[in-house]
Structure 1
Amino acid sequence: MDRIEEIPKFAFVGNSHMAFWALDIYFPQWKCLNYGAPGEGLAYMESFAADTSDCLAVIQFGSNDIYGLNDENVDDYVERYVKAVLAVPSLKTYLFCIFPRNDYDDYSTAVNKFIRMLNQRIYEKLQGTDIVYLDVFDRLLLNGRLNPDLTIDDLHLNGKGYSILAEAVKQAVNL
């Protein structure tokens, strides 16, 4: 008798980057649940209560929290961030880095330098866990800023941007 392989089930959890992702287009062969919530960040992740224990979880959040962070509270944020990710029940968890963004008032790259540092601290804190870290930060950048060819508004991704994310997930999951 032939063995029928079960179609993988994924839970995409996080902010608007997850909420606006047309999962059925990028992953037509997978069962995808979308728990993305526009405008949300750490507080949403800390209160996330959906039962995703039978899913592979793909998580991305943090860009909505950036402007509330500074040198004095970043370590506490990283601690809470990693704890929230680890609390999401799943068969396996894939965590995207915090994506770059562009400031609307100038062409500064300061926010993305800060996000790079924050991502590095999160990555270091994840060492020793089973979380698979998906670092697409540099692939989304152009001259220190979120590549305008990958966005619709200097923050949210377009189809080209989501193709980068989909490729990273497929490569990591290896299905």
Structure 2
Amino acid sequence: MEDRPKFAFVGNSHMAFWALNIYFPQWECMNYGAPGEGLAYVESFSVDTSDCYVVVQFGTNDIYRLNDENADEYVERYVKAVLAIPSLKTYLFCIFPRNDYDDYSTAVNKFIRMLNQKIHARLEGTEIVCLDVFDRLLQHGRLNPGLTIDDLHLNGKGYSILSDALKKAVNG
């Protein structure tokens, strides 16, 4: 029997809650997603994943601590943390939009879009494959409620978008 490729998923609840065995039965998947976590978790990630393809997504839990003054420092730390994870190849999902502001503001998602643009620009010229599904998760500037279970965490339709983007990049 041929060995299945090994994939390690690292990040926050979006990784932790992904039913990997359903979406990727052809892969050996290890889930290192940790609900509520963000940059500090990824910076301290110490599992040897050098024999794996690594899929990373985090950042939404860090948003409340960020502003225009510390965004560039965050982006530098973010990129350094992603680059430090050992892998055969790394696939990085963008920071996802969120909807947890009572006033239905789209300002947080405009800020997240700016962070994603800075991260993507900083990763140009590296081996990291950036998976930008941000616009596919949006509706009227907010996380599409039809893709979530609670206006923050993804449902099956949301995970189908992620799965399709990842499969396309891997098989691409």
Q: Which runs of 5+ in 2 are unaligned?
A: none
Q: Report the count of equivalent residues.
A: 172
The alpha-carbon deviation at position 105 of structure 1 amounts to: 1.2
Is 1:172 matched up with 2:169?
yes
> Does the 8 Å contact 1:45/1:84 carry over to 2?
yes
Q: 2:75 corresponds to which letter in structure 1? A: V
Give the percent of matched residue pairs that are identical in Structure 1 and Structure 2: 81
List alignment gaps of at least 5 residues for structure 1. Answer: none
Alignment TM-score, normalising by the size of structure 2: 0.98
User: Per the alignment, in what secondary structure is the counterpart of residue 64 of structure 1?
Assistant: helix
Q: State the partner residue of 2:41.
A: 44
User: Displacement, 1:6?
Assistant: 2.7
Please give the TM-score of this superposition, normalised by the length of structure 1: 0.96
The residue type equivalent to 1:100 in the other structure is: P
Structure 2 distance, partners of 1:5, 1:103, is: 45
Question: In structure 2, what is the Cα distance between the partners aligned to 1:97 and 1:171?
Answer: 16
SS at match of 1:113: helix
How does 1:28-107 map onto structure 2 within 5 Å?
28-107=25-104
How far, CA to CA, are the matches of 2:57 and 2:94 in structure 1? 7
User: CA shift at 1:29, angstroms?
Assistant: 1.0
The 8 Å contact of residues 103 and 111 in structure 1, kept in 2 or not, is answered as no
Structure 1 counterpart of 2:131, from 130, 134, 156: 134
Partner of 1:11: 8
Distance across 2 between alignment mates of 1:74 and 1:59: 19
What RMSD over aligned residues (CA atoms) do the two structures have, in Å? 1.0
